[in-house]
Amino acid sequence: MALNINTEIPNIDIITTMGEINTHEWIENCWGIIFSHPKDFTPVCTTELGELAKLQQRFLDKNTKIMGVSIDPIEDHLNWINDINEVNNCNVMFPLIADENLRFSKAFDMLPKDNNADQHRTALNNATVRVIYIIGKDKKIKASLAYPMSTGRNFDEVERVLVSCQLTAEHSVATPANWKSGEKVIILPSINDEDAKKIFGSWESPKPYIRYVDPPEQS
């Protein structure tokens, strides 16, 4: 099952480093970031989880939870976390799913094509690819990003996409190319000028179909 944008995430129970979690209950009234990494005790993944650990409070301030997944067992996750913390001078405080039977990875479409995974894989034949889902309060996918195993993710970009999605959900605005937090946003075309005046007052309009406004404050 491919998880396209606006697909509701699967409602399943999972085993994590912080106990058993239900995906729908985990979201509660928050946003969520679920990301897969290929394998514990590998170099790129170690840098990624360290970076996320350092950024976790910024995501929490945006009402967003983080959860990771690979097909490694709980014991490996817990031992590897010690390495992550040491190498990156951080403290991993988000759950990691132990998806040994691939149930979660298959449900969330995190496996590469022609996957032949087993527990004896190496760094050259990892099962999960680097996938990120940004999930809204309604438990639906708002954005998805996939990277090859050789490319570490840019989590500043993940945060930028998250903020953009939250602005759209809360204020009916879009963000232009190369947008950064605090810059002007665009009123959605689905809002006519009459309604836009009630909501935004005025705007800059280089073309009738482009309406720039200052970014609204997020709740």
Task: State the catalytic residues.
Answer: 45, 138
What does the alpha-carbon distance between residue 42 and residue 76 come to, in Å, rounded to a whole number?
A: 12
| 135 phi, psi to nearest 5 deg | -120, 135
Q: 191 and 171 in contact (C-beta within 8 Å)?
A: no
Q: 68 and 36 in contact (C-beta within 8 Å)?
A: yes
What does the alpha-carbon distance between residue 29 and residue 9 come to, in Å, rounded to a whole number?
A: 15
Measured CA angle at 101 (ends 128, 49), to 5 deg: 40
Is residue 144 within a helix (H) or strand (E), and if so which, with residue range? strand 141-147
In the block, tokens 């999605």 appear at 165
Sign of the alpha-carbon torsion through 201, 206, 207, 213: negative
Q: 84 and 92 in contact (C-beta within 8 Å)?
A: yes
At a CB cut-off of 8 Å and minimum separation 6, what does 59 contact? 33, 65, 66, 159, 162
What does the alpha-carbon distance between residue 49 and residue 92 come to, in Å, rounded to a whole number?
A: 8
Eight-state DSSP code of residue 140: B
